[in-house]
Amino acid sequence: MIKVAIVYYSSTGTNYQLANWAKEAAEEAGAEVKVVRVAETAPKEAIAQNPGWQKHSEETQDVPVATSENLEWADAIIFSTPTRFGNVASQMKQFIDTQGGLWASGKTVNKVVSAMTSASNPHGGQEATVLSLYTSMMHWGAIIVPPGYSSDVLFAAGGNPYGTSVTQSQEDGSMVEDVQAAVKHQAKRVVEVANKIHG
């Protein structure tokens, strides 16, 4: 059975939802799945100033915090992170940057990897964020599995070939595009490729 770690960071819940859709699909495809969140590094004062952030932080306290052991365990990793100035959120970046020991011991080589993201507007760095994460994965020796245009469902979700991305409404925080099917297709594709490599 292929083992998939879904590693996410979410301040108000969008990437948490993407992670859970990916979990559903990966399990449907026959994988063993762990959803883990990267540690919050923002000051409590900053979180408290945003009611949505505070609420989501409290609601997800029971989600396990991501560790190097999760990555070592996994055959495949799906990352989900909001964009910050065209790059991954600093919380996700810190988690990736602390994997030097895993990388140095060769334990990141041949991990099957894919990524998803969100931003508050369609051109707010979504593609750049996924590509930035993939640059790190190249250093890891990971096998990057983008969705490409491997299914028609991707066009309904905005057609990002690098990884599912969604716009979060600035008015109410809801997702603008309907990306559930695209997320699930991407996750199943990750399991399919991982089975070919590690199965």
Chunked into runs of 10 residues, the chain (199 residues) has average pLDDT values of 98 96 98 98 94 94 98 98 96 98 98 97 93 98 97 93 94 90 98 95
Residue 77, helix vs strand vs coil? strand
Q: Are 50 and 12 in contact (CB under 8 A)?
A: yes
Q: Are 7 and 38 in contact (CB under 8 A)?
A: yes
Whole-number pLDDT of residue 46 = 93
Q: Are 75 and 2 in contact (CB under 8 A)?
A: yes
- Report the alpha-carbon distance of residue 38 to residue 193 in Å, rounded: 25
Q: pTM score > 0.85 for this model?
A: yes
Residue 27, helix vs strand vs coil? helix
- Report the alpha-carbon distance of residue 109 to residue 102 in Å, rounded: 10
Domains of the chain: 3-198 (3.40.50.360)
- Report the alpha-carbon distance of residue 186 to residue 159 in Å, rounded: 12
Whole-number pLDDT of residue 75 = 98
Whole-number pLDDT of residue 122 = 87
Whole-number pLDDT of residue 172 = 83
Whole-number pLDDT of residue 79 = 98
Question: How many Cα atoms are found within 13 Å in the side-chain-facing hemisphere of 33?
Answer: 22
Handedness of CA 39, 65, 47, 163 (dihedral sign): positive
Q: Torsion angle of alpha carbons 67, 70, 72, 75, nearest 10°?
A: -150
Q: Beta 76-84 vs 112-119: how paired, if at all?
A: parallel
